Chains A and B, each alone.
Chain A
Amino acid sequence: MDKIIPASWRTQTKPDFFCPGCGHGIILKQLGYAIDDLKIQEKTTFGIDIGCSLLAWDFFNIDTIQTHHGRTTPVMVGYKMSKPKRVALAYMGDGGGYAIGLQSLIYACFRNDPITVILVNNGNYAMTGGQMAPTTLPGEVTPTTPDGNPTGFGEGFKGPELLSTLCAKNAYIARATVSKPLLLRSVLKKAIKNQIDNNSFSFVEILSICPTNWKLGAKQCFSKLADVEEFYVPSEFSKKEQNVK
């Protein structure tokens, strides 16, 4: 039976500064339980970005480094290269992973760097007020798409699908959702174990909610999330077999 709070959480910094109802809290709790279950608290290093993920800078009882926007992945790549026995987590949002940090994310996957990237997809740039993100759905109204996100920009950015075309055979690529917290926990554990056991890259995109910028209450947030899950399908993405040259 789970305790009310993960052991790896730092109680002194709670309540945290995430908005009421923020999906980050659900994710970080399942991540905390995952770290507890795998007993890796003492050997994990947690890298975070500058968006809302910044608010997790003193969240866990775990060494944490906050980087510049989109740069969490390369920092953790350099770190893991130097400390191969530690578990390196890179935690970021849709901007840090799919926009400014996309190049480094692709290369970490391409090189099969043995880090675990956790990307929180809430369909907007929340900390700066809800602007369009690569993951904003077609037609969505945001401060930078006042007439609705033009479908000409692409039908939503499908990160795990993209990475699965570039990844090594033993990389782990998945999409999970905060609507299924226990499944989320097991996906996070699988991803982290892939780093530890297979010395390979792992990536988990997590569909999340943002009551503040979606301007919805709790129940409506989860309804909207159900719609999002039709578009960004939660799944595991195994490496497609390629023709041998």
Chain B
Amino acid sequence: MFPVNFQKRSKMLSNTKSASGGNKINIIFAGEGGQGILTITKIFTSAAFKSGLDVAYIPSFGVEQRGTPLVAFITLDNSPLRYPKFDVADYVVVLQSRAVEAVSQFISPNTKVIFDSSTINFALLPKTSIQLFGIPATSIATSKYNPRSFNLIILGYLSKVFNLKPDLVFSEVMLLLGKKFKSKEAEAENKEAFYAGYEMVPERDNFSKAVFKPRQGAILVKGHGKSGEILPSRCKGCGICIAKCPVAALSFGEELGVLATPVPKVDLERCIACGNCRNFCPDAAISIDKI
């Protein structure tokens, strides 16, 4: 079941150079906790293992279940590995702006930095990162597939980078995420996203604009006898206000909140200023009253 051809194994890593010398490849995955980064890491390392590589991996995170950067340390090799923490990474894969600070210390001029150019402004990356590979994954996912599939696009691209068979990687996707694909259509869509990532040519310069980032400032609303505010800087996109609005005046809009997820927009004509959105919002991010 697993490829046992030794020559094939060593070939897999032969075109990826180790910055630390030797055959060991040090990789960091970093993203927003709760955005699927942990699952993508599990799929990747499991697929690498099933491809016959030696893999060691430690996820690094604190007490919070959500909302803080998650940094995963991964090492790949042809021979038995030990403790996968390192000072300098050969590859850094960073998917959200808030995770950039957490990974800066691992980036040297020899590090290849793969990033989602549609959520991270390349200028935010540390000066030491000179080998940049931009994949506008969120932009492509949102326009062509579904927003959450940005992870799969990245995963597809990484399969190419590390010479993993895409079919094998996607079967791992099905194993770990298959239950979440609600329909055959959803599964096909996600598969397409993954293979699109596999075929992707990364941006080396002229990076996409980082539009998928949190909106600064408050969104002030006024009209139809009501006024109020929505604060993307505090909105986590939980959707409670939308669920609790008795007149369906709230729905997810285009602007992004603090976790780079959509924040609600209000139809002031429908709104009856009942106060539910304010009363229920766990983050004090919305309030609309009668003038």
Contact = CB atoms under 8 A, between A and B. Distances in A.
**Do A and B come into direct contact in the complex, CB within 8 Å?**
yes
Interface of A: 1-6, 9, 14-26, 28-30, 52, 54-55, 126-127, 178, 181-182, 211-212, 217-219, 222
A221 B239 CA distance: 11
Nearest to A3: B287
B283 interface: yes
A218 B283 contact: no
Given A19-B34, A20-B238, A55 B286 contact: no
Contact of A17 (B67, B237, B238, B242): B67
A127 to B, nearest CB: 7
Contacts of B244: 218, 222
A216 to B, nearest CB: 11
A181 B239 contact: no
Contacts of B240: 21, 26, 218
Interface centre among B65, B231, B239, B278 (most CB of A within 10 A): B65
A218 B243 contact: yes
Interface in B148-207: none
A22 to B, nearest CB: 6
B31 to A, nearest CB: 15
The 8 closest A-B pairs by CB, nearest first: A25-B282, A21-B238, A20-B236, A4-B287, A5-B284, A20-B238, A218-B239, A218-B243
Interface centre among A22, A54, A127 (most CB of B within 10 A): A22
B181 to A, nearest CB: 15
A127 B261 contact: no
A52 B66 CA distance: 11
Contacts of B278: 2, 4
Contacts of A17: 64, 66-68
B284 A29 contact: yes
Contacts of B63: 54-55, 127
B247 to A, nearest CB: 15
Given A20-B238, A212-B66, 14 more contacts: A2-B287, A14-B283, A16-B283, A19-B34, A20-B237, A21-B239, A25-B282, A26-B280, A26-B281, A29-B281, A178-B280, A211-B238, A212-B65, A218-B244
20 contacts: A2-B275, A2-B278, A5-B284, A6-B284, A15-B233, A15-B236, A17-B66, A19-B65, A20-B66, A20-B259, A21-B239, A23-B282, A29-B281, A55-B64, A181-B279, A218-B238, A218-B239, A218-B242, A219-B239, A219-B243
Contact of A15 (B65, B234, B287): B234
A21 B34 CA distance: 13
A32 to B, nearest CB: 9
B229 A26 contact: no
Interface string B231-255: 1011111111011100000000000
A14 B281 CA distance: 13
B236 to A, nearest CB: 4
B67 A182 contact: no
B258 interface: yes
Contacts of B286: 4
A14 B259 CA distance: 13
A218 B264 CA distance: 13
A3 B280 CA distance: 13
Interface of B: 34, 63-68, 229, 231, 233-240, 242-244, 258-259, 261, 275, 278-287, 289
Contacts of B67: 15, 17-20
Interface centre among B63, B68, B283 (most CB of A within 10 A): B283
A1 B289 contact: yes
A23 B235 CA distance: 15
B282 A126 contact: no
A163 to B, nearest CB: 27
Nearest to B233: A15
Contacts of B281: 25-26, 29
A218 B259 CA distance: 17
Contacts of B34: 19-20, 212
Contacts of B243: 217-219, 222
B258 A15 contact: yes
A21 B282 contact: yes
Contacts of A127: 63, 65
Contact of A26 (B237, B261, B282): B282
A26 B243 CA distance: 14
Contacts of B239: 21, 217-219
A82 B236 CA distance: 40
B191 to A, nearest CB: 23
A229 to B, nearest CB: 16
B258 to A, nearest CB: 5
Contact of A4 (B65, B233, B284): B284
Contacts of A222: 243-244
A178 to B, nearest CB: 8
A14 B283 CA distance: 8
